């Protein structure tokens, strides 16, 4: 079976798309021995690095910009400083994530390295009299792929180059108009770059005799594409979790089937669509128990509570923090990891105040006991996938009391057999089995202790988690997808 996936990766650059449904779908299908073609519509000059980090190197790739820029190169061959011409006397100073270039004590250029790894050159900004005049965007196959031209620090033109340095596409950034010369069309002028991308996609797909299954991520450009879809091939639209703003534009008769990640998403989308039968819930993140969990068992002296929120109101956060402070004050072996996108000063003030009365194991208050309390309640920003996996492997319990729980964290909790506490029903939680669904956040203080201290309850929860994980492991998710493919064909 051949499956075409059209992702929405326009913000990706060289960084692996985090928590991305298209990425996990491609990994799932490849793991089941299927042929996957990623139809990449975004300008991604570091795509090879991205695919390697995302473990998608075995996928076939068709890139709209590769065709538009007449690029046939496949292998990674990133440019190094010696490959580029520099003025005589240029001095290079290595900084974090970048290299500063000066000529005659004047700022000549800043070389930016690829995000996350600093492993290769990403782009180069050129300056004249301290004003940005050009940006050279480098392709990881060894050439300058894009040149951005600035006038008085404003972007005025964007040129997309062939590997030999010829201009393949010129975009006027003031009007949006695009000029190009292509071998698949006689049209040379387009209103904007998206119009050109949509045209080359249509040309590409129309040449495939047996298109197979098409899964399209619900990004803005993809929603534009589906409005003008004129091919006979059916399209499955994949909606990321909790993207209700996009879902509200979901009604389209060109979409044969819709896949959402949560029951709440399904309910929301069903309000937009007349045919509720064409919606199915398939979680994006498989719960494959690939590791033997030993770090979060009851014998481990440190009991870590992993609490995460993206949208909880400050008043509710204060309630939860008060309950967690009580637990910390009564159990010196408990640690809180609080992942939050909203670092409220009021929360910090509550912790600062609570630390003043923090006692040590002898019941005394001193500087060390106060400092230790602060260390045991750590507030961290939103973490990437790798860091979340590391934190979950050490967690005793996951607390997520948002109205829309984080699907990735919930899947990790199930994968690592970590009990979880929610306010709403999800595919990853069976109340009273692998965790609890609270009626109110004030119930948290009554529920948490048994997951921290009750060995029998902990063992029961882990057994239930391992059983529930089988319902959303790779095999089961693949079965659900096969059912959809069969419905679309019939």
The total number of residues written for the chain in this structure: 490
Q: Is 2-71+193-281's fold the same as 303-472's?
A: yes
Residues 382-391 as b/e (b if ≥16 CB within 10 A, e otherwise) read: ebeeeebeeb
The beta-strand segments (E) located in 239-286 are: 255-260, 279-281
Q: What is the pLDDT of residue 176?
A: 97
CATH class of the 303-472 domain in this structure: alpha beta
Domain 2-71+193-281 has CATH 3.30.1300: no
Under DSSP, is residue 216 helix (H, G, I), strand (E, B) or coil?
strand
Strand, helix or coil at 179? strand
Q: What is the pLDDT of residue 295?
A: 43
Give CA separation, 489 vs 177, 212, 232, 486, in Å. 39, 9, 12, 5
Read off φ and ψ for residue 103, nearest 5 degrees. -135, 120
| pTM for the full predicted model | 0.89
Cα–Cα dist 30/36, whole Å: 7
Sign of CA dihedral 412, 418, 419, 421: negative
Tokens of 93: 């100073």
Please list the pLDDT of the chain residue by residue as tens digits (490 residues). 899 999 998 765 656 678 899 999 999 999 999 999 999 999 999 999 889 888 999 999 999 999 999 999 999 999 999 999 999 999 999 999 999 999 999 999 999 998 766 678 999 999 999 999 999 999 999 999 999 999 999 999 999 999 999 999 999 999 999 999 999 999 999 999 999 999 999 999 988 877 779 999 988 888 888 888 877 778 999 988 777 767 766 556 678 899 998 888 888 888 877 666 688 999 999 998 755 544 456 667 889 999 999 999 999 999 999 999 999 998 899 999 999 988 789 999 999 999 998 888 888 888 999 999 999 999 999 999 999 999 999 999 999 999 989 999 999 999 999 999 999 888 899 999 999 999 999 999 999 999 998 888 888 998 999 999 999 999 999 999 999 999 888 7
333, 338, 339, 341 alpha-carbon torsion, rounded to 10°: -170
Cα–Cα dist 474/483, whole Å? 14
Q: How far is CA 342 from the centre of its chain?
A: 19
What ranges in 109-211 are assigned the alpha helix state H? 193-206
What is the separation of C-alpha 384 from the centre of its chain, rounded to a whole number of angstroms? 8
Domain parsing of the chain, residue ranges: 2-71+193-281, 81-161, 303-472
Report d(CA 287, CA 264) in Å as an integer.
Answer: 20
Please give the Cα distance from 152 to 132 (Å, whole number): 8
- What is the model's pLDDT at position 41? 95
């Amino acid at each position: 079976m051949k499956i075409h996936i059209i992702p929405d990766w326009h913000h990706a650059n060289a960084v692996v798309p985090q928590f991305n449904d298209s990425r996990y779908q491609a990994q799932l299908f490849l793991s089941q021995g299927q042929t996957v073609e990623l139809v990449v519509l975004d300008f991604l000059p570091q795509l090879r690095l991205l695919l390697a980090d995302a473990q998608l190197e075995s996928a076939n790739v068709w890139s709209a910009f590769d065709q538009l820029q007449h690029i046939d190169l496949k292998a990674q061959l990133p440019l190094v400083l010696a490959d580029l011409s520099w003025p005589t006397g240029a001095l290079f100073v290595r900084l974090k994530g970048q290299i500063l270039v000066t000529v005659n004590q004047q700022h000549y250029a800043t070389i930016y390295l690829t995000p996350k790894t600093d492993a290769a050159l990403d782009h180069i900004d050129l300056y004249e009299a301290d004003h940005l005049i050009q940006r050279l965007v480098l392709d990881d196959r060894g050439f300058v792929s894009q040149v951005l031209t600035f006038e008085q620090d404003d972007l005025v033109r964007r040129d997309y180059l062939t590997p030999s340095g010829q201009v393949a596409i010129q975009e006027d950034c003031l009007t949006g108009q695009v000029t190009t010369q292509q071998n698949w069309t006689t049209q040379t002028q387009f209103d904007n770059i998206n119009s050109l991308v949509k045209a080359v996609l249509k040309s590409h797909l129309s040449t495939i005799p047996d298109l197979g299954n098409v899964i399209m991520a619900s990004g803005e450009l993809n929603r534009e594409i589906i409005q003008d879809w004129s091919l006979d091939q059916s399209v499955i639209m994949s909606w990321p979790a909790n993207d209700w703003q996009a879902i509200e534009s979901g009604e389209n008769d060109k979409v044969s089937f819709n896949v959402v990640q949560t029951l709440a998403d399904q309910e929301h989308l069903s309000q937009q669509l007349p045919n509720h039968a064409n919606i199915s819930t398939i979680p994006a993140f498989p719960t494959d128990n690939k590791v033997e969990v030993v770090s979060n068992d009851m014998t481990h002296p440190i009991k870590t509570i992993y609490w995460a929120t993206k949208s909880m109101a400050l008043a509710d956060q204060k309630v939860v923090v008060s309950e967690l402070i009580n637990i910390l004050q009564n159990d010196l072996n408990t640690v809180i990891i609080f992942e939050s996108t909203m670092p409220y000063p009021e929360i910090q003030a509550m912790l600062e105040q609570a630390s003043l009365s923090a006692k040590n194991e002898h019941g005394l208050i001193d500087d060390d006991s106060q400092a230790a309390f602060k260390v045991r309640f750590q507030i961290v920003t939103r973490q990437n996938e790798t860091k979340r996996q590391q934190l979950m492997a050490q967690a005793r319990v996951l607390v997520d009391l948002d109205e829309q729980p984080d699907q990735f964290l919930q899947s990790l909790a199930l994968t690592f057999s970590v009990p979880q506490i929610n306010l709403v029903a999800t595919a990853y939680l069976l109340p009273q089995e692998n965790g609890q669904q609270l009626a109110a956040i004030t119930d948290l203080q009554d529920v948490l202790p048994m997951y921290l201290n009750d060995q029998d309850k902990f063992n029961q929860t882990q057994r239930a988690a391992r059983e529930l994980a089988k319902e959303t492991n790779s095999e089961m998710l693949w079965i659900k997808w096969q059912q959809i493919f069969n419905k679309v064909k019939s």
